[in-house]
Structure 1
Amino acid sequence: MSARLLVTSAGSGASSNLVRSLRAGTASLTIVGCHDDQFILKNSTADRNYLVPPLSHPRWARALRRVVDAEKIDLVIPASDRDVAALSRVRGRLLGRLFLPRAATVERCGDKYELTEWLRARGVPAPRTYRVTDLRHLERIFDRLGNPSRAWCRIRAGAGSRGAAPVAGPGQARSWITYWRDMRDVPVSAFTLSEYLPGRDLGCQSLWKDGRLILVKTYERLSYLGSGSQPSEVSAVGALTKTVCEPGVVEISVRALRAVDRKASGVFAVDLKEDSSGVPRVTEINAGRFTSGTNLLDLTGKHNMTAVYLQLARGGVVDLHEEYEGTEHHYMLRDVDAVPRIFHADEFFDGVEDARG
Structure 2
Amino acid sequence: MAIGLYDRESYAESYVVPAADSEDYWPAIGRIVDRHEISFAVVMPEVEVLVWARAKEERRLPCQAFVPAYQATSTLVDKKALHRVLHRKHYLPKHCTFSNGDDISELPLPYPFWVRSTIGSSGLGSLKVSSRGELDEWVRINPAVEEFIASEFLPGRNLACKLLYVDGRLLRSACAERVEYIMAKVAPSGITGNTSFGRLINDRHLVDIADDAIREVFGLHGVEPHGVFTADLKEAANGEPMITEINVRFVAFVSALARAGANLPLDYLEANLNPDEFSSSYQHYVFQDDMIFLRDVDDAPVVMKESELLTREAFDD
| Contact 1:296–1:331 under 8 Å retained in 2 | no
Q: Which residue of 2 aligns with 1:282?
A: 243
Work out whether residues 124 and 255 of structure 1, in 8 Å CA contact, stay in contact via their aligned partners in 2: no
Q: CA deviation at 1:50?
A: 2.5
Whole-Å separation in 2 of the counterparts to 1:272 and 1:113? 16
Question: Percent same amino acid at aligned positions?
Answer: 26
* 1:112 and 1:157 in contact (8 A); partners too: yes
Q: What 5-or-longer segments of structure 2 have no aligned partner?
A: none
8 A contact 2:43–2:65 mirrored in 1 = no
Paired with 2:282 and 2:184, the residues of 1 have a C-alpha distance of: 35
Residue 259 (1) aligns with residue 226 (2):
no
CA shift, 1:135, in A, is: 4.5
User: Separation in 2 of the partners of 1:84 and 1:278?
Assistant: 33
Q: Deviations over 1:100-151 (max 9, x none)?
A: 1110111001111110121123x2511222111364532211xx22x23x11
User: What's the CA shift for 1:336?
Assistant: 3.2
Q: Distance in 2 between matches of 1:321 and 1:203?
A: 22
2:233 aligned with 1:272: yes
CA shift at 1:346, angstroms?
6.2
Q: 1:43 Cα shift? A: 4.2
- 8 Å CA contact retained: 1:209, 1:264: yes
> 2:208 aligned with 1:244, yes or no?
no
CA–CA separation in structure 2 for the residues paired with 1:152 and 1:264: 29
Cα displacement string for residues 239-280 of structure 1 (whole angstroms, at most 9, x for unaligned residues): 101210112111111111111124101111110000111111
- Among residues 17, 41, 57, which one is paired with 2:5 in the alignment? 41
Which residue of the partner structure matches residue 331 of structure 1? Answer: 292
- Relative to structure 1, the CA distance from residue 213 to residue 243 in structure 2 (aligned partners, 3 Å threshold; closer, same or farther) is same
2:166 to 194, 209, 215: 209
The residue aligned with 2:30 is 65
- The equivalent residue for 2:91 is 125
Alignment partner of 1:309: what SS? helix
So what's the TM-score if we normalise by structure 1?
Answer: 0.79
* Superposition map of 1:142-221 within 5 A: 144-145=108-109, 147-148=110-111, 150-181=112-143, 185-187=144-146, 190-221=147-178
User: What is the CA–CA distance in structure 2 between the aligned matches of 1:96 and 1:63, rounded to whole Å?
Assistant: 13
Distance 1:268 1:277 in 2: 26
CA–CA separation in structure 2 for the residues paired with 1:352 and 1:178 = 43
How far has the Cα of 1:62 moved from its partner?
Answer: 1.0
Change (3 A) 1:212 1:136: closer
In structure 2, give the amino acid aligned to 1:63. Answer: A
SS in 2 for 1:341: strand
Task: Indicate if the aligned counterparts of 2:184 and 2:190 stay in contact, CA closer than 8 A.
Answer: yes
| Pairwise CA distance, 1:354 | 4.8
The alpha-carbon deviation at position 350 of structure 1 amounts to 7.0
Q: In structure 2, the residue corresponding to 1:192 is in which secondary structure? A: strand
CA deviations on 1:307-336 (whole Å, 9 max, x unpaired) are 111122236133243321121433221223
TM-score by length of 2: 0.89
1:138 aligns with 2:66: no
Query: Which residue type is aligned with residue 120 of structure 2?
Result: G
- Counterpart of 1:321, as a letter, is S
After superposition, the CA RMSD in angstroms is 2.3
Contact 1:125 1:281 in 2 (8 A): yes
Q: In the alignment, is the contact (CA less than 8 A) between 2:43 and 2:67 conserved in 1? A: no
Q: Does structure 1 residue 298 correspond to structure 2 residue 258? A: yes
Q: Gaps spanning 5+ residues in structure 1: where? A: 1-10, 13-38
State the AA in 1 paired with 2:28. A
One-letter amino acid of the structure 1 residue matched with residue 76 of structure 2: C
Indicate whether 1:76 and 2:76 are aligned.
Answer: no
